Structure 1
Amino acid sequence: MKPFTFDQIPLMMNKIHDKLEHLEKLILRISNTKEDKEDILNIEEASKLLNLSVSTIYSKVSRREIPVNKQGKRIYFYRHELMQWIKSGRIKTYLEIKNDIEKRSKI
C-alpha cells in the first residue's frame, strides 16, 4: 500500500466507510438468512409478526391461505415462510408493469 498525503485523507475515509458499510450489509444479510430459516414461531408469535389476531390466523390456517406446520394439535410457523407469504401479495407498481410489458414485447 502506498503512503497517502494529508489531502487524500477524506477520499480514503470515504472509501473505508463505503467498504465497511458493504461488509455490514453482507454480514446482516447472512445472519438474517440463517436466523429466518431456523425461526419457528407459535401462533401468538406469528400473530405479532403479521399484526393479525390469533383468530384471524386460525381462520387463514383452516382455509389454507397461510403456510403452516402441524404437530398433533399444535401449529407452528417458519418465519421465512411467513415473510415469503407476505411478499407474494405484493402489488406491482406502474413502472414495474410497464417494464414487464416491454420485456415481453422484445421476446
Structure 2
Amino acid sequence: MDINEISFENLPKAVAHLVKEIGEIKLLIQNVQVFESKELSIPIGIEEASRLIGKAKPTIYALVRQRKIPSYKYGKKLYFFKEELLEWISKGKKKTIQEIESEVLKYNHNRNRESNRK
C-alpha cells in the first residue's frame, strides 16, 4: 500500500494495514525481550564480565576477593550473570542533589510529625 495515497475511500485499508504492521512490530519486540531475558540468565566468564562493566580483569579479581561483586566459582573458573552485574552497577548510583533534598524534606517532615504526637 502506498502511504502517500491515503484518501477517505481507502482509509479502512490503510488502517487495516497499520494494524497489521503494529502487530508485527509487537511480535518482534516480544521476541527480543524473550531473547534478552534468556541471555541474561546464561553465565558469562571474566572476559565478558570485564567488557560488560568496563573494568580490567585484575580489578574484577580484587572485587571478587573482597566479595564486593556477585560471582560464582566452579573449580578454578569464575562465572557471573549479566543481570546481577547490571544490578550491582545500578546500586552504585550516586544520588542527585534533588533526590538528596527530597529525602531530607521527607525525613524532616516525618520527624516533625513524630515530635508533634508527643
- TM score, norm. by length of structure 1: 0.69
The reply to whether residue 81 of structure 1 matches residue 87 of structure 2 is no
Report the Cα offset of residue 93 of structure 1.
6.5
1:49 to 52, 62, 77: 52
Corresponding residue of 1:67:
70
Ranked by relative contact order (alpha carbons within 8 Å, sequence separation 6 or more), the top structure is 1
State the alpha-carbon separation in 2 of the partners of residues 75 and 81 from structure 1.
Answer: 14
Unaligned runs of 5+ residues in structure 2 are 1-8, 104-108, 110-118
Query: How much is the aligned-residue C-alpha RMSD, in angstroms?
Result: 3.0
Asked which structure has the greater CA Rg, the reply is 2
**Percent of aligned pairs sharing the same letter:** 30
State the alpha-carbon separation in 2 of the partners of residues 92 and 20 from structure 1.
Answer: 40
Report the Cα offset of residue 91 of structure 1.
4.9
State the alpha-carbon separation in 1 of the partners of residues 90 and 30 from structure 2.
Answer: 21
Corresponding residue of 1:29:
33
State the alpha-carbon separation in 1 of the partners of residues 94 and 25 from structure 2.
Answer: 30
Change (3 A) 1:30 1:94: farther
State the alpha-carbon separation in 2 of the partners of residues 46 and 74 from structure 1.
Answer: 13
State the alpha-carbon separation in 2 of the partners of residues 16 and 94 from structure 1.
Answer: 46
- TM score, norm. by length of structure 2: 0.64
Q: Number of aligned pairs? A: 98
The amino acid of 1:16's aligned partner reads K
